[in-house]
Structure 1
Amino acid sequence: MSYESVVFIAREVMIYQIPPLKTSKGYRASEWDVAKPLWSGRLRVVEKNVPLTKDAYDACELRCELLLEDSTSGELFATAVYDSNGKGVEQVVDSSRFFVIRVVDGERHAYLGMGFQERSESFDFNIALQDYKRHSDPMANTPASVSKNAPKDYSLKDGETITISLGPRRKKPDSRTVSGSNSSSSSSSVLPFLPPPPSAAQVKQQNRGEEQDDFGEFVS
């Protein structure tokens, strides 16, 4: 089943008859007589989902068409087909408001110039064509491209476990060894016992004995 979606509308564009392309560098709007357009009217850019066969359940193709219509009556002046590879519409090299389009009429085709009055309209026109190229890309919305940047799941699945290696356990020291070492270290660190100082009577008696000894030696 086919459907049609309007993705861009310009109320007025100018169509020009242009000279043949002279160089491979591209078309130049400065070589056109922009003051004398061949036609002016409305531009509608539509996307069409067209079945490749009569069977509605078969594959479909997304197409983009530029419809040049009379602004009042809506009468069709010409149709240009824009290809997903970028063919059918080409921007000139010396202006952002002018393009070259390939209009078709059955088996016949011709290249015409197209100009916008406002640069903002030409910008929106370019955006509409880029959106069509993205929509027509079959790889744009594939599951592979969507899951490429999806976050990884590191959670454990059913039946999975984690093994953690803690290394060798340290042996707990024996309390008796600790207490013994503490007692020996404490005993070795204690100062030896000192006797009390002598009393005054002991000092006098000791001095008297020393005087007698000295006197005795002197007498003899």
Structure 2
Amino acid sequence: MSTYESIIFICREVLVYQIPPLRSSKGYCASEWDVDRPIWRGRLRVLEIASDATASRIRCELHLEDNKTGELFASAPYLVTGKGVEQVTDSSRFFVVRVVDGDRHAYLGMGFMERSEALDFNIALQDFKRHANPNVDIIPTDGHHTKETVKDYSLKEGQTITISLGKGTRGRRSSNQNSENSASDSGAPLPFLPPPPSAQQIKEQLRTGAHATEEDDFGDFVS
């Protein structure tokens, strides 16, 4: 039976560490490693391997290889369930991989030089899980399994929407309109100021006032 391989991720340099046994059920901590003294460094290739031409059976493997010669240092199978690779609890750049050699296996630490490389590595593993089994639930990198609930906001049969408008401005406008409407509905004529007197009328008023004053002044001296 033929097999087909495709590279889904590659990193030119990763660091591999000898790590102490797991001490807590919470997970591994990179702070407990001697990160300044890796036991090996080289290239990481993540392969997606199909067991037949129809690719109905696929698996994923991590290959740690020498950068110059391509010699295989160790391989670690990665399962759809996520078994085989575990991120540490105190860093986004370090992982624990389960390397296999025949019937034997061991847990080694693996670190990336850049956080972006570690992120791309995580994305490649998640993409493999979706490809290998579309029905599998994906667990985010923070370790918390969450499912997004899609809410239906559409109106059901018989439901309506009621919109309440503000009353402040509308009330002031209504009061002004009511006062204008009440004045127009009463039928009473609006008062008008008389027109200003003409120049001729003003002259006549001045003459009449002056004549009356002369009569009053002379009346005081009548014996």
> Segments of 4+ in structure 1 off by > 2 A?
none
Distance 1:28 1:45, change over 3 A: same
In structure 2, the partner of 1:30 is: 31
Aligned residue pairs, count: 135
Matches of 1:65 and 1:85, distance apart in 2: 14
In structure 2, the partner of 1:74 is: 70
Matches of 1:138 and 1:115, distance apart in 2: 29
Show CA shifts across 1:5-27 (max 9, x none). 00000000000000000010000
**Which runs of structure 2 are paired with 1:91-102 in the superposition (5 Å)?**
91-102=87-98
Matches of 1:49 and 1:35, distance apart in 2: 38
Aligned match for 2:107, one of 108, 111, 118: 111
Structure 1 gaps, min length 5: 141-220
Are positions 1:134 and 2:150 aligned together? no
Identity %: 68
Matches of 1:4 and 1:130, distance apart in 2: 18
Superposition deviation, residue 138 in structure 1 = 5.1
> What amino acid does structure 1 have at the position aligned with 2:96?
V
Matches of 2:19 and 2:109, distance apart in 1: 6
Matches of 2:46 and 2:114, distance apart in 1: 17
Matches of 1:132 and 1:78, distance apart in 2: 20
Are positions 1:17 and 2:21 aligned together? no
Structure 2 gaps, min length 5: 137-223
Superposition deviation, residue 90 in structure 1 = 0.1
In structure 1, the partner of 2:41 is: 40
**Which runs of structure 2 are paired with 1:42-61 in the superposition (5 Å)?**
42-51=43-52, 60-61=56-57
> What amino acid does structure 2 have at the position aligned with 1:106?
G
Q: TM-score, normalised by structure 2?
A: 0.58
Show CA shifts across 1:24-61 (max 9, x none). 0000000000000010000000100014xxxx78x842
In structure 2, the partner of 1:122 is: 118
Matches of 1:128 and 1:2, distance apart in 2: 20
Structure 1 SS opposite 2:68: coil
Superposition deviation, residue 110 in structure 1 = 0.2
Q: TM-score, normalised by structure 1?
A: 0.59
Could you say what the CA RMSD is over the residues aligned between the two structures, in angstroms? 1.5
**Which runs of structure 2 are paired with 1:205-220 in the superposition (5 Å)?**
none
**Which runs of structure 2 are paired with 1:177-188 in the superposition (5 Å)?**
none
> What amino acid does structure 2 have at the position aligned with 1:72?
K
Superposition deviation, residue 127 in structure 1 = 0.3
> What amino acid does structure 2 have at the position aligned with 1:134?
R
Matches of 2:56 and 2:72, distance apart in 1: 25
Matches of 2:85 and 2:49, distance apart in 1: 17
Matches of 1:87 and 1:7, distance apart in 2: 18
Structure 1 SS opposite 2:51: strand
In structure 2, the partner of 1:165 is: none
Larger of the two Rg values belongs to structure: 1
Superposition deviation, residue 139 in structure 1 = 4.2
